[in-house]
Amino acid sequence: MKIIKLNLVVALLLLMAAGCDNVLESRVSELERRIAKIENGGTTATTLNSSPTPTVSSTPVLEVKPEGPLPEFNFASETYDFGAIPEGEVVEHTFKFTNTGEAPLIIQSASASCGCTVPSYSKEPVPAGSTGEIAVRFNSKGKKGNQAPTITVTANTYPKVRKLRLKGTVNAAG
């Protein structure tokens, strides 16, 4: 049992050092509780972590639709297939959209699932009926095989988040 505790402490320290989130901390706390229960013959005892860990619900929080006129994205396409490219090539694509809603559309952020993809967008509101763009740059250096980076766009729309995707294959430089 001491080996289990030692392994658990090491795992806990590694997770904390890596900046783990509350869900992982909650899981580690639950494992500590179970080990303590086993070691004490089925009775609950204090765990290695003396301070209580807040319980985090794994149920997603539902987004409530705001009242009043809202902007709305209408993308020509939410996926861009760049095909097969040699490693090291840079792919650029612009996702074009129209605000088909009834209020100005404001993009609050755009982030990519990896550092190889960089999105950029206008910080100015897009009036109802007008068009806007989100430019994306994918650098294939150090990437091989099938690639599918995702761009997460957060705006004052409902729902707040939209996902754009690039996909394609990066062939080894030769």
66 lies in a domain?
no
CATH number at residue 125: 2.60.40.10
- Same domain, yes or no: 91 and 50: no
pLDDT, tens only, 108-135: 999 999 999 999 998 999 999 999 999 9
Tell whether 114 and 43 lie within a shared domain. no
Residues 143-162: tens digit of each pLDDT: 999 999 999 999 999 999 99
Domain boundary among the residues 17, 39, 61 is at 61
Q: What is the pLDDT along the chain (174 residues), one digit of tens a residue?
A: 555 555 545 454 444 444 434 444 556 566 666 666 666 666 544 434 444 445 555 666 788 888 889 999 999 999 999 999 999 999 999 999 999 999 999 999 999 999 999 999 989 999 999 999 999 999 999 999 999 999 999 999 999 999 999 999 999 987
- How far apart are the C-alpha atoms of 36 and 165, rounded to whole Å? 46
What is d(CA 170, CA 154) in angstroms, rounded to the nearest whole number? 28
In terms of residue numbers, what domain contains 90? 73-171
Domain tally, the chain = 2
User: Residues 14-35, buried b or exposed e (16+ Cβ, 10 A)?
Assistant: eeeeeeeeeebbbebbebbbeb
Residue 144 lies inside a defined structural domain of this protein: yes
167 and 83 assigned to the same domain: yes
DSSP 126: B
- My answer on whether 78 and 157 are in the same domain is yes
At residue 40, the pLDDT reads 66
